[in-house]
Structure 1
């Protein structure tokens, strides 16, 4: 059985979208193909790797990817924007998705201050991302995706 593809989009694909990809893969990787990408990828943030490891999720092998690599190659059933900028910049890119959602988390990489302040910001966002993933999984999204695909088939060309 083909897994439902979920694409998490963000601006830099360095922290929030990477955490979401990691949590979904860890919690429900047998049911979902978790992916992430960014409008302007900047590389995987080491603090994201560190705070995810603290809760037992290894994202160290994930890579920061460009949204361009997913165009015409990935029919994501769900597209989840994890920052306002990505949602405002590209909501029409995935019109064939069953659903697009916006979960606007603050950018932990933008936090200034000492190492402990920055680490705490990453932990707060990590916990928010985990809660959002768990809440979304509790809504039984696979049933929604299956029903939507059975009742409506859409194709779309992206220039």
Structure 2
């Protein structure tokens, strides 16, 4: 069985989607391919997102925002949107989910921590769904 591919999409690909990829890579290892993109990527990853992830031992400082392309979506098994507006292309056979999460842009670390924790809980549930524990 090939490993599932998950694409996290938000507008700037600088906060929520980067934290989600960090958690998925950290918690699922190589069992799930984790990617992210943005409909209007920022220049750099949100420093508050980098800091709150570093607090729990996950380094996303080497990540950079990437542009969302139709090919990236089409080659994903699951696309999770976190506020990408109407820019997300839709393809048959791709599973779409929308995670309504606050945008960490312009917020300090105290405001970003709860967003981080909500993303972690959702990623843990996603891993349990995509890679069920073997008996």
Judge same fold: TM > 0.5, yes or no. yes
Offset at residue 93 of structure 1 (A)? 2.8
Matched, 1:75 2:113: no
TM-aligned CA deviation for residue 94 of structure 1 = 3.4
Q: Name the CA distance, whole Å, in 2 between partners of 1:135 and 1:142.
A: 10
Larger Rg: 1
Q: 4+ runs of 1 displaced by more than 4 Å?
A: none
Alignment correspondent of 2:86 = 89
Q: TM-score scaled by structure 1?
A: 0.75
Q: With CA pairs under 8 Å and 6+ residues apart, which has the higher RCO, 1 or 2?
A: 2
Aligned length: 130
CA RMSD of aligned residues (A): 1.8
> 5+ unaligned residues in a row in structure 1: which ranges?
112-117, 144-159
Deviation track 1:25-47 (CA, whole Å, cap 9, x = no partner) reads 11112211100000000021111
- Quick one: distance in 2 between partners of 1:46 and 1:92? 28
User: Once the 2 structures are TM-superposed, how far is the Cα of residue 2 of structure 1 from its aligned partner?
Assistant: 3.1
Structure 2 segments unaligned to the other structure (5+ residues): none
The structure whose residues are more often helix, as a share, is 1
